[in-house]
Every structure is written in structure tokens, then in C-alpha cells.
């Protein structure tokens, strides 16, 4: 009779609770979960035999039935200014990209939550690719694992290199709720990545019921991709707005802020697209609209891509929009040139998302690699 091959348990993909449950299911003590989480996520170890505070027999037992799947990096590059990029293969035809941006004494990692995105914002290359699938917990937290290990092993838990994580890569994180929450919990877990809750940011196009759900399980930082000051225009740019209007969204954000134990200033992201949403009338409407929410505004000059049909506004138009909002008392930043480059890459990720044609697949992969090499 042919041997039945059972799939090994991937420890990278377990949150604390599932790790404890798994240990109990194999007649081990649940507190070992902390030890294993520390080895994988705090120390960056992917080899069970190196987990020296577990008995030899337990290591042997675990090695027989478990594995630690690490992401397959197909390309990585550090640019002159210290920015690091990785291209990770998640399926035969799916790639995701992540970026680490060092700035003064902080380093921000931009992480993906899905392959492609179903929200289909009119200005976003990821959206234009359509939706392929959700990333699993191991694929999301694996991005942080890879970035943290890039600074060399053993890791030093007292001087962590990654200080901030933003869920601003491919995908709408609130449409992949559980794995994203599990990943963020590991990011802020002292036995894992130990980041401050205020430094882990979820960016959303506005999935209202999920914002309420989020407030019940965490109080990490929330950023709203608004991009328009009225429903008519937002329906066009961010189609999910037809389901959840701007007012419903801002009400949900206010509820989220209230549920946090500290005073919060929410970041509002606003992509500036030439002659679409960047006029002074738009700035005035935006200023009026946002009076109801403690917030700061981050302006993102549109990053053009082929076939988008939109243009980036001139420097003067961008400055004029910013100055108006500042005069109205809003802290308003423009994504810096360097961040612009890299973060726009975050918003413009074009991993191949389904099997259209092999030719297209290759061409898109090549584009990603070419972009990463730039
Ligand atoms: N889906 C979530 C998070 C990922 S989008 C969201 O929309 O918030 C990541 C960021 O990239 C968002 O702020 C998005 O508005 C921005 N982005 C998307 N396309 C862009 C483009 N063409 N130019 C500049 N920024 C873009
Ligand atoms: Fe999806 Fe965000 Fe892109 Fe909109 S901007 S299509 S929500 S990834």
C-alpha cells in the first residue's frame, strides 16, 4: 500500500492561540508556544533543531510533523539611499513586492495583504490587475520576517531595525480580515516583533463594517484612503464608496477613534490627480468635510502608470492644495520625493494576479523586476 503523505504543519502560519492549540493537540504544554514564537519571530530562526530551549526529543518530534515555510525571495535590492526592495513569489504566477524605507532613526516596512485587489480604484495599478487571492498569515508575517532577517542574524531584540509597518502594499487589508489581524498581533507582540501599536498602520479604502469589527480586536493606527471630498467624485475614484458613503466612513472612523484608549489623530490619504480632485474648490470642500474628525492630511501626488488616463499635477498645483489646507489649520504633508518613489511603488504593485496569458505573465514579472532594479 502506498504511504499516505501528510502535510506538515507550517509554524510560520500560526497565531498564538493556534500555536497553543496545536501543541495541546500533540500532547505538549501550551506555554511552549511563547518559546516557539520567540524563536521564529523574535530571533528569525527557521530551523526547529536550533530551538535550543526545547528538549531534543521535542525538537525531533516537531521536526517530523512541522515545518517553517519562509517566503521565496526572487529578487532583492538595496538602493543607494538605503531603501530595500524585495520581490516574493507566492504562487507559480503570483508575485508580491515589499519595500523598507529607512528615514532618520526609523525604518518603515510596506506590507501586502492580498494578491491584486477587488476594490478597483481607478488610479491604482494593483486594482487594475483585478483580484487573485488573499495572502495567508504566513505570507503576510513572512514579509516582516524576511525584512527583519535582512539585517543579519542573530537578531537583537533590544535594537530592532524595523520600527514601523504600514499595510499599504497590494490589497485591501480589511477584506482579508483575520490573517491581517493575526499578522498585526504578531507585529506588536513583545515575544515577536515588538512594535508599538501606534507604529503599525492599517490603510483602508473604507470597508465600514470591518472598521467596527477592527475596533473590537485592536487599536492599531488607522489610515483612510479618502482621495475625494464628495460622494460623486469618490464613487468614481474609489468604487467601494457606492456601498459605504463618505459620511458612513467618517462616522466609523470616529467610532474607531473613540474606542481607542488614547487621543488619536487619523491620517487621511489624498492622492492628487491633475484636474480631477486637485482644485481649490476640492481643497475647500475637503477642509469643510474633515472638520468632524481629528486628523492630519497626507497628500500623495498621483504616480502615473500606463493606461491609467490620469496625470500627476504640477508642483504648483500640489503646493497650492497643501497651502490652502494648512491655512485652514490642517497639518498637511506631501509624501516626500523619496517616499513618493517607493510608496507609490507600494500603491502600484503589479504582481501577476491570474492566468491570463503566459506572455502577459512574463511581461508583468519583467516589469516588477525592472522596477525593482531601477
Ligand atoms: N487598499 C488599501 C491599502 C493599499 S493601497 C488602501 O487603499 O488604503 C496603498 C496606498 O497606495 C494607498 O494610499 C493608495 O491610495 C496609494 N496608491 C495607489 N495607487 C497609487 C498611484 N497610482 N499613485 C500614488 N499612490 C497610489
Ligand atoms: Fe485596492 Fe487600495 Fe489599490 Fe484601491 S488603492 S485598488 S483599495 S490596493
Closest CA to 107 of 159, 57, 40: 159
Q: How confident is the model at residue 225 (pLDDT cuts 50, 70, 90)?
A: very high
Residue 166 φ/ψ, nearest 5 degrees: -120, 130
Model confidence at 348: pLDDT above 60: no
Active site residue 346: yes
Query: What is the predicted pLDDT for the residue at 339?
Result: 42
Specify if 126 maps to a domain.
yes
Specify if 22 maps to a domain.
yes
Assign residue 122 a region (left: φ > 0; alpha: ψ between -120 and 50; beta: otherwise). Answer: alpha
Active site residue 97: yes
Lowest mean pLDDT among 226-230, 255-259, 291-295, 352-356: 352-356
Query: What is the predicted pLDDT for the residue at 354?
Result: 41
Specify if 1 maps to a domain.
no
Nearest-atom index, ligand 2, CA of 170:
8
Which three cell numbers, joined as nine digits, stand for 287? 477642509
Same structural domain, 91 and 59: no
Name the percent of the chain lying above pLDDT 90.
Answer: 71
Same structural domain, 274 and 301: yes
| Boundary residue ending a domain (18, 35, 67) | 67
CATH of the domain at 61: 1.10.150.530
Same structural domain, 148 and 281: yes
Same structural domain, 152 and 275: yes
DSSP state for residue 184 in the 8-state scheme: H
First vs last Cα of the chain: how many Å apart?
54
pTM of the model: 0.91
Specify if 76 maps to a domain.
yes
Q: Is the CB of 121 under 6 A from ligand 2?
A: yes
Task: Quickly list DSSP for 100-111.
Answer: EEEETTEEEEE-
Specify if 179 maps to a domain.
yes
Query: What is the predicted pLDDT for the residue at 8?
Result: 93
Whose grid coordinates read 474648490?
281
Top mutation candidate among 300, 311, 335, 336 for ligand 1, by most atoms within 8 Å of CB = 300
Which three cell numbers, joined as nine digits, stand for 212? 467596527
CA of 362 to the centre of ligand 2 (A): 23
Same structural domain, 90 and 49: no
Closest CA to 11 of 46, 44, 43, 50: 46
Q: How many domains does the chain have?
A: 2
Same structural domain, 22 and 109: no
- Do 125 and 368 contact (CB within 8 A), yes or no? no
Closest CA to 98 of 64, 65, 145, 39: 145
Same structural domain, 347 and 274: yes
CA of 111 to the centre of ligand 1 (A): 12
Specify if 2 maps to a domain.
no
Of all ligands present, the nearest one to the C-alpha of 117 is 2
Q: What is the mean pLDDT of residues 13-32?
A: 97
Specify if 3 maps to a domain.
no
CATH of the domain at 352: 3.20.20.70
Same structural domain, 212 and 144: yes
| Boundary residue ending a domain (67, 84, 102) | 67
Same structural domain, 50 and 139: no
Closest CA to 27 of 78, 1, 65: 65
Q: Which helix (H) or strand (E) is 156 found in, with range?
A: none
| Boundary residue ending a domain (50, 67, 84) | 67
Which three cell numbers, joined as nine digits, stand for 164? 514601523
Three-class SS state of 32: helix
Pairing mode, if any, of strands 66-67 and 9-10?
Answer: parallel
Model confidence at 363: pLDDT above 80: no
Q: Is the CB of 346 under 6 A from ligand 1?
A: yes
Cα–Cα distance, 208 to 199 (Å, whole number): 22
Same structural domain, 235 and 367: yes
Same structural domain, 227 and 157: yes
DSSP state for residue 39 in the 8-state scheme: I
Whose grid coordinates read 483602508?
204
Cite the DSSP H helix spans in the chain: 16-25, 32-37, 56-65, 125-128, 137-149, 177-188, 208-217, 231-237, 246-259, 280-289, 315-327, 337-347, 358-373
Three-class SS state of 312: coil
CA of 117 to the centre of ligand 1 (A): 11
Top mutation candidate among 140, 299, 347 for ligand 1, by most atoms within 8 Å of CB = 347
The residue among 134 and 342 whose pLDDT is bigger is: 134
Note down the domain range covering 36: 9-67
Which three cell numbers, joined as nine digits, stand for 157? 531584540
- Give the tens place of pLDDT for each residue, 121-175: 999 988 888 899 999 999 999 999 999 999 888 887 677 789 999 999 899 999 9
- Do 273 and 310 contact (CB within 8 A), yes or no? yes
Query: What is the predicted pLDDT for the residue at 152?
Result: 83
Specify if 114 maps to a domain.
yes
Name the percent of the chain lying above pLDDT 70.
Answer: 88
Find the radius of gyration of the CA atoms of the chain: 22
Same structural domain, 60 and 119: no
Amino acid at each position: 500500500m502506498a504511504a499516505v503523505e501528510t502535510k506538515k504543519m507550517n509554524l510560520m502560519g500560526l497565531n498564538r492561540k493556534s500555536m497553543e492549540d496545536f501543541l495541546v493537540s500533540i500532547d505538549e504544554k501550551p506555554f511552549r508556544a511563547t518559546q516557539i514564537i520567540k524563536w521564529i519571530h523574535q530571533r528569525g530562526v527557521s530551523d526547529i533543531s536550533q530551538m535550543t530551549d526545547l528538549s531534543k526529543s521535542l525538537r525531533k518530534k516537531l521536526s517530523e510533523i512541522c515545518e517553517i515555510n519562509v517566503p521565496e525571495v526572487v529578487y532583492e535590492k538595496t538602493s543607494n539611499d538605503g531603501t530595500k526592495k524585495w520581490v516574493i513569489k507566492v504562487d507559480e504566477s503570483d508575485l508580491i513586492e515589499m519595500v523598507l524605507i529607512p528615514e532618520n532613526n526609523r525604518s518603515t516596512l510596506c506590507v501586502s495583504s492580498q494578491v491584486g485587489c477587488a476594490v478597483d480604484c481607478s488610479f491604482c495599478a494593483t486594482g487594475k490587475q483585478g483580484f487573485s487571492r488573499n495572502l495567508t498569515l504566513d505570507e503576510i508575517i513572512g514579509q516582516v520576517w524576511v525584512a527583519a532577517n535582512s539585517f543579519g542574524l542573530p537578531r537583537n531584540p533590544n535594537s530592532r531595525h524595523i520600527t514601523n509597518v504600514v499595510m499599504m502594499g497590494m490589497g485591501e487589508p480589511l477584506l482579508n480580515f483575520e490573517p491581517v489581524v493575526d499578522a498585526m498581533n504578531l507585529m506588536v507582540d513583545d515575544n515577536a516583533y515588538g512594535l508599538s501599536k501606534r507604529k503599525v498602520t492599517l490603510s483602508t479604502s473604507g470597508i465600514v463594517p470591518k472598521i467596527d469589527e477592527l475596533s473590537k480586536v485592536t487599536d492599531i493606527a488607522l489610515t483612510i484612503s479618502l482621495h475625494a471630498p464628495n460622494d460623486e467624485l469618490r464613487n468614481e475614484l474609489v468604487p467601494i464608496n457606492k456601498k459605504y458613503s463618505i459620511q458612513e466612513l467618517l462616522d466609523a472612523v470616529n467610532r474607531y477613534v473613540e474606542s481607542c484608549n488614547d487621543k488619536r489623530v487619523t491620517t487621511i490619504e489624498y492622492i492628487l490627480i491633475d484636474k480631477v480632485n486637485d482644485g481649490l474648490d476640492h481643497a475647500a470642500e475637503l477642509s469643510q468635510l474633515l472638520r468632524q474628525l481629528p486628523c492630519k492630511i497626507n497628500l500623495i501626488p498621483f504616480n502615473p502608470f500606463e493606461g491609467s488616463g490620469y496625470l500627476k499635477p504640477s508642483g504648483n498645483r500640489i503646493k497650492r492644495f497643501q497651502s490652502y489646507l494648512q491655512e485652514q489649520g490642517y497639518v498637511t504633508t506631501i509624501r516626500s520625493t523619496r517616499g513618493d518613489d517607493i510608496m507609490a511603488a507600494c500603491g502600484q504593485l503589479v504582481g501577476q494576479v491570474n492566468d491570463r496569458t503566459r506572455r502577459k505573465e512574463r511581461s508583468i514579472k519583467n516589469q516588477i523586476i525592472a522596477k525593482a532594479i531601477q
